[in-house]
Structure 1
């Protein structure tokens, strides 16, 4: 029990788990008085003070739209018994994860703009890395599950209720959460054993794992190996499955004789595919562009796309193109449903 408590108390006291990771860098750095770096600086988007109110207003409105939009979807699905199906079960989970995902980064950034400070504490940075990886991983898995759900619904409609039974759906979501928790825990604990020099500046609006590891003063080879392995395993690996599902879906849709049937099948899949491509293209672009010099502005912009824009667009893409969600929302608001 004491061994378990030690790393936890160490994290709270801002120390580096020297107990588990004894390394020469710590002895060297004690002489420089920065063994316990207490804070990082998040440089954000622009140093120009006149642009800060504009950036603050833009990100605050995007954050509020994301939270309220995704809450509406959760409310619509839970209040309408017709929507208690696997597809909407995954969608409500995605909405919940998106709210948590954007809440990991944007509120801290807004606070920093409001106070005119660029500081994030060391425990705050590690916590941000942990939750960011957790919710990004869940997002990946849920998008894959939704692709598989559509694949079974369109390509094997007669077996759909048997394959996508409630127990199987819950099991899939549980596996997604457990895998994401283990991955984020491993990577956060590995960051704890790195040494950082004083005056650490991160050219980003949140503690991005890639950037934090890149600024470490100690040997970071193992961290980079684990980071890229996790990116490939949790990020890249589901992509072939998603693409395979959609290639099969498209060929099945082409075989549907009625134009109305084709349109209905295409509309549900097009919305999902647009979310997947936006999330994957920008997310993987950031992590695979580590060759680009640190502080690259393009990397920050791409990060905004998958950390802020994608969670914000999900409710619009799914609700505006979905008759069932629109009907449920109208019922909640009190608009007569046709």
Structure 2
């Protein structure tokens, strides 16, 4: 696969105020683990107000395993796969941004433009599933970064992972805000009909202008609704994720988004209140001051009202929903809306009993376990 060529400005130097064209973050500050911090400034010499063009690089990432595991009590899965590190969609609110700092990169523009992928992921997955120690439990795909970024058109990495899961009859859930997910409706439909797959499409707003600002390289809201319909027609249960809910910015659209998703064929829904851990709080405030200066102070005030007066509270018992009257009102509205639009369906547990090793992964003598014909 031909990889995009890099023309990235290191550590944000030279990126003008207002950000880079087609990107969400307004800066590229060094990560919190770096010994030195590089800060952008205007010395008055360039006189160039044109947003910089930052191209994307995609680099292979050598991995020893592909399945990640967690024991967080507020997460509904304990096994996940993330084919990509970093995300081209550039969503300013993305909770995965701080993960880039573990690689010595910025949670800002680096996260959106310096991507990594796991080319041997399908082979690693097949190996892990065939281990005698492996015990089948549903795997969630895309819990950190989107598995259907535009580079997926070339790498087909996510599709190849789904093919491995299909050969093993292994149950999985998948989440995306990309219409590209509909490309794999054949696999998702087949496995969805057998209670081996469910999908969730994230829709944060129906306002195309706001969507373009918050999620500059993600699919339009209309195309995401179309993806829900295509998955439904293929036989894969699809839910909608109104996530994140940003008080004072998109929370007024909660009912409209759920209604539109219901009409498109969604049968379930979820929401998450905006989370601003680590570097995200500064990135989000920069973006808000630039894009919505008239309401920035109000939005941040409402956010703090859901987090006990802070920008963020990482306590697992409330980090997904928040606390206080503002958070309680959002929860009340959500419960009423899913009843109104028929999105109360709670999916039954995915079937782990169908899991099997395909013939090519089974020991040779197992082929004769039923005796000669």
Pairwise TM-score range, normalised by the shorter structure: under 0.3
**Bigger share in helix:** 1
TM-score (norm 2): 0.26
Higher relative contact order (CA 8 A, sep 6+): 1
